[in-house]
Amino acid sequence: MDFSIASILLLDGLTNGAVYALLGLATVLVFTVTRVIFIPQGEFVAYGALTLAIMQTGKVPGTVWLLLILACVAALMDAFAQWRRHHRLVAGLQAALRTLALPVVVAALAAFAAPRNPPLLLQALLSTAVVTAFGPLVYRVAYQSLADASSLVLLIVSVGVHFAMTGLGLLFFGAEGFRNPAFWDLRLALGPITLSGQTIIIALASVALIVMLWLFFERSLYGKALRATAVNRLGARLMGIPSQTAGQLTFAMAAFIGALSGLLIGPTTTVFYDSGFLIGLKGFVAAVMAGLSSYPGALLGALFVGVVESFGSFWASAFKEVIVFTLILPVLLIRSLYSGHSDEEH
């Protein structure tokens, strides 16, 4: 290996690492606010990339129908919950409509625009909107009524959601893989390395998103409310922050980050319905390195994972997954040596 190969690998690793970083951040975000270890984060990545891919072909993506079905289920659950509480039909209907409104608008827009071949940027925007709308609904349907369950029960629920979302991905996208067109087909030769437009977009998008997250949590009222919920759910509820809203907002952000990551990696690799899982898990490894609690830690961890993966695939390409996932063990060992004993769950 010489310097030029090393620098190519490094750039490659950092680019992938930037995407893992986004997913790692989403994982940390969801865990701190809701205590959910969100395994299906990667599914949003695949959904995002594939929704755009289907739009490219001029068809209405299956995610649109899935979104409508999920919204109906959530609306029924909301209506039923309201009806049980107040025994009034109108209250139930109102609740159902509130839940339905946004997803229906998004789905209608996507269904309207898709066959008309809008410009790539608009397609990307619509894809992101469709997948983002999944977030709160997934929280509503799968997690909301279990919000007080132990984090281990929530983890098993996550696995169930992962199963269901992967299977539905197969159902709505088919087994075929897609590779999206590049958003910016620039090629910049810098010595031995070639900087592609997509790499620059990935880097810029990651930095922008990290800055936005930082601003959101430090400066905005909603961000502070989420942080308060993360520290103490009951306390936040007593301060007038409904934990349901916090959960749904968090999941919307996670879905948004997932969809964005999907758009970012779509042009660099072929995405299948189940590709998201491995990508998401790598973000996950990064989040675990950061103890599921530190955003800068997750960022560094993700870049590290990306670089290890890219060098691993150079030296022992068959074993790159083995290397990446075994990496978590020494990291956990170090954490266990330094973080001391386990904390009591009560």
Partner 1 sequence: MQLSRNRILIALVVLVPLIALAPVPDFWINQFNTIGLYSLVCLGLVLLTGVGGLISFGQAAFVGIGAYTTAWFTLNMGMSPWLTVWIGLAFTAVCALILASITLRMSGHYLPLATIAWGLALYYLMGNLDALGKYDGLLGLHSLTIGSHDLGTGRGFFVLAWFLVLAFATALLNLLDSRSGRAIRALKGGVQMAEAMGVNTFRYKVVIFVLAALFASVSGWLFAHFQRTVNPSAFGLKMGIEYLFMAVVGGIGQVWGALVGATVTKLLDDQLQVLLPKWIGTSGSYEVIVFGIALVLMLKHLPEGLWDFVQSRLPAGRRTVDWSEAPNLPARNKPANGDILLDVRAIRKEFGGLVAVNDISFQIRAGQIVGLIGPNGAGKSTSFNLVTGLLGLTRGAVHFRGQDISGLSSRAIARRGMARTFQHVKLIPDMTVLENVALGAHARGRKGVVSAMLRLDRAEEQTLFKEAQRQLERIGMGDQLHELAGNLAMGPQRMMEIARALCGDPALLLLDEPAAGLRHLEKQGLIQVLRQLQAEGMSILLVEHDMDMVMQVCDRLVVMEFGTRLMEGTPSEVQESPAVRAAYLGEEH
Query: By the criterion CB under 8 A, which residues form the site for partner 1?
Result: 37, 39, 142, 145-146, 149-153, 155-157, 159-168, 170-171, 174-175, 278, 281, 284-285, 288, 292, 318-319, 321-322, 325-326, 328-329, 332-333, 335-336, 339, 341-346
Return the DSSP state at 343: P
Task: Tell the smallest beta-carbon distance from residue 130 to partner 1 (Å).
Answer: 19
The residue among 2 and 345 lying less far from partner 1, judged by its C-beta, is: 345
Give yes or no for a contact between 142 and 161, defined as CB atoms under 8 angstroms apart: yes
Task: Tell the smallest beta-carbon distance from residue 217 to partner 1 (Å).
Answer: 23
The residue among 84 and 219 lying less far from partner 1, judged by its C-beta, is: 84
The residue among 167 and 235 lying less far from partner 1, judged by its C-beta, is: 167
Q: Which residue in 112, 117, 106 sits closest to 57, CA to CA?
A: 117
CA 94 to chain CA mean position, Å: 30
> What is the residue whose two structure tokens read 């991905």?
169
The residue among 141 and 203 lying less far from partner 1, judged by its C-beta, is: 141
The residue among 112 and 319 lying less far from partner 1, judged by its C-beta, is: 319
Task: Tell the smallest beta-carbon distance from residue 173 to partner 1 (Å).
Answer: 11
Task: Tell the smallest beta-carbon distance from residue 43 to partner 1 (Å).
Answer: 11
For the CA atoms of 341, 305, 168, 135, the dihedral, rounded to the nearest 10 degrees, stands at: 70
Task: Tell the smallest beta-carbon distance from residue 170 to partner 1 (Å).
Answer: 5
Task: Tell the smallest beta-carbon distance from residue 311 to partner 1 (Å).
Answer: 17
Alpha-carbon span 334 to 124, nearest angstrom: 41
Q: Which residues pair with 266 in a beta bridge?
A: none
Q: Which amino acid is at 128?
A: T
The tokens for 154 are: 């929530």
The residue among 157 and 200 lying less far from partner 1, judged by its C-beta, is: 157
Q: Which amino acid is at 225?
A: A
The residue among 69 and 120 lying less far from partner 1, judged by its C-beta, is: 69
Task: Tell the smallest beta-carbon distance from residue 338 to partner 1 (Å).
Answer: 11
Local structure of 271: helix, strand or coil: strand
Q: Which residue in 218, 249, 259, 214 sits closest to 19, CA to CA?
A: 259
Phi, psi of 190 (to 5 degrees): -125, 90
